[in-house]
Amino acid sequence: MDVGFIGLGRMGRALAACLVRAGHTVRVWNRSPEAAQAVAGARPVPTAAEAFAGDAAVTMLADDAALRAVIVEGGLLDAPDRPGLHLSMSTISVALARDLAAIHERAGVAYIAAPVFGRPDVAEKGALNIVAAGDPGALGRAGPLLDAMGAKTWPFGPVPERANAVKLAGNFMLVSAIEAMGEAAAFAEGHGVAGADLLDLLTNTLFASPVYKGYGASIAADRYEPPGFNLRLGAKDIRLALAAAEAVGVPMPFASALRDNLIEAIAMGDGDKDLAALARVAARRSGRP
């Protein structure tokens, strides 16, 4: 397929490379040209409009503001060469996803929400889990692209923003797992048990899953740099989850506690560290250095 790819952060580059590897023709574009790095086999184009064209366009941008700026304020949906399909993979608010679905419908461009689970190193191997929702026909057409970028695509029906709700729910559970490990480790240390020993036991038995093993290893080693996914982005996702929960009348006490603790972590200077550094809040509160 003839694909345009917008957003060449580490995640975007990994996904664009997957598309190239699978034999698709890929045009790439990034907002800040100086940050744009080459994707071998893909053709850089000078404007967003040239990327937002062809059989399908894929976007992987940092947040609501970036996606809105490029697509909506950039007027791309009015461009004559607009693509038949927009595969929107950024982690964004449910509200923006709903708006975008409506705007795309008016413009006659199929809109598929397809956020992903997995860190950039997983993306590089094409091993992400992709959550996809949108018009069934369009989802079918996007199949080869989704297959190229992820290990598995989990369909969540015809309403695009539901995929974004699922993504936020997953990230909420992920940050909850980190907080639980942080509190458990602080508790153990208070009783003379090394947090690393506790986490070694638990993440190899009851909690032997990717999230616990990955973040648990960081907490056990008390090592949060370089960040795989930084704490400030985690705080953003919890903010989005709380806003989306409030919109549908769902209280989330764990998410509220996470929000407070993430704000404290940022106030203490850990915003640019890995999200696992949230565990330092529990340690600090118990008077440990």
Number of residues that bind a copy of itself (CB under 8 A): 74
Which residue stretch of 41-49, 63-71, 72-80, 178-186 sits at the interface with a copy of itself (rule: CB under 8 A)?
A: 178-186
102 binds a copy of itself (CB under 8 A): no
Q: Is 266 in the site for a copy of itself (CB under 8 A)?
A: yes
Show the site string, 246-265: x = touches a copy of itself by CB under 8 A, - = not: x-xxxxxxxxxx-xxx-xx-
Q: Specify the DSSP class assigned to residue 5.
A: E
**276 touches a copy of itself by CB under 8 A:** no
Handedness of CA 51, 73, 88, 276 (dihedral sign): positive
Of 62, 120, 129, 196, which lies in the binding site for a copy of itself, with binding defined by CB under 8 A? 129
Identify which range of 3-11, 55-63, 76-84, 279-287 contacts a copy of itself by CB under 8 A: 279-287
* Tokens coding 212: 């616990």
| DSSP conformation letters of 111-145 | EEE--EES-HHHHHTT-EEEEEBS-HHHHHHHHHH
114 binds a copy of itself (CB under 8 A): no
Beta-strand ranges (E) seen in 48-118 are 56-59, 85-88, 110-113, 116-117
Within 10 angstroms of residue 130's Cβ, the number of other Cβ atoms is: 25
Tokens of 55: 């059989």
Per CB under 8 A, the list member of 2, 197, 223, 225 interacting with a copy of itself is: 197
C-beta separation of 179 from 211 below 8 A? no
Site string (204-243) toward a copy of itself, x via CB under 8 A: -xxxxxxxx--------------------------x-xx-
Based on the residue annotation, tell me whether 167 is a catalytic residue of this protein.
yes
